[in-house]
Amino acid sequence: MEAKIVLPGDEIAVAEEFEPGEGTYERDGLVFAATPGVLILDSQNRVARVRAFNPPAELKVGDIVYGVVDDIRGMMATATIQAIHGRSRQISGEAEGTIHISNVSEDYTEDIHDKFHLGDIVRAKVIQVKPSVQLTTAEPNLGVVKAICSICREPLELRGQDLYCPRDERMERRKIAADYDELRLTVPASELGGGKIPEKHRGGRDEGEGRGGRDRGGRGGGRDRFRDRGQGGRGRDDRGSRGPGGRDRDRGRRR
């Protein structure tokens, strides 16, 4: 049987057929993975286990990682990194990464809450390791790979470009990965964009910077703020040509 990689929250067995073992837990008659790792279904002893990745692996720029969104505030989302694509080892050192609103999507993002919700599992790329881990999902193969309903906490199904909750019969939006409904876990990381860092992502971003996005007060970020300062506004230099040398030019006209 081919080894299967599972992530936290993945349904792996029915409790009537397999008892929950190491790295798993039971809920409502189903057995779920509690840790990222390799699924082991022991049919002889009727036990389901998840063998955790080890030994520890260090994050590198260009790595494709999987994490759980556990905090969203302002223009930042924080994800606890659980696994590195293509490596069967746990992560050592810094286990949290942040995604700035400017690195969420290929398109303009006004509110980061429209792209991620707490508990979502995301596939992201590492664009900075030190002094803090910075991530991006602004590529087609990156984004949410498993989402849960913000009301009932059940998994969401893909319907067109949005996600649907069968239980509540409602739609939700996310920045989803291209393979959301058919997750490609066995392909090389390079096929998911690993190893390539676009120039616009190099060095990461601070919370007050960005090429787009708006803060919760509605003010434009990034380019909009610089445009207000240097373009379109009427500062002292623009008012009646009263900038440096403005008075001399007026006197010349009167003469």
- What 3 state SS string does the chain have? CCCEEECCCCEEEECCCCEECCCEEEECCEEEECCCEEEEEECCCCEEEEEECCCCECCCCCCEEEEEEEEEECCEEEEEEEEECCCCCCECCCCEEEEEHHHCCCCCCCCHHHCCCCCCEEEEEEEECCCCCEEECCCCCCEEEECECCCCCCECEEECCEEEECCCCEEECCCECCCCCCCCCCCCHHHHCCCCCCHHHCCCCCCCCCCCCECCCCCECCHHHHHHHHCCCCCCCCHHHCCCCHHHHHHHHHC
Return the pLDDT at 19: 93
Return the pLDDT at 105: 92
Domains by residue range for the chain, with CATH:
4-52 (2.40.50.100), 64-188 (2.40.50.140)
Question: At CA 125, angle to CA 124 and CA 130, rounded to 5?
Answer: 120
Residue 90 has pLDDT above 80, yes or no: no
Total residue count of the chain as it appears in this document: 255
Higher pLDDT, 52 or 115: 115
Q: Among 180, 97, 168, which residue's Cα sits nearest to residue 131?
A: 97
Alpha carbons 216 and 251: distance in angstroms, whole number: 48
Name 41's bridge partners: 48
Alpha carbons 239 and 220: distance in angstroms, whole number: 25
Return the pLDDT at 86: 83
Quick: pLDDT tens for 159-210: 888 899 999 899 999 999 999 988 888 899 998 988 877 666 554 444 444 4
Quick: pLDDT tens for 116-159: 999 999 999 999 998 899 999 999 999 999 998 989 888 899 98
Burial track 185-223 (b if 16+ CB lie within 10 A, e otherwise): beeebeebbbeebeeebeebbeeeebebbbeeeeebbbe
Tokens for 187, please give them: 């392909």
Return the pLDDT at 22: 87
Residue 231 has φ and ψ, to the nearest 5°, of: -140, 150
Residue 20 has pLDDT above 50, yes or no: yes
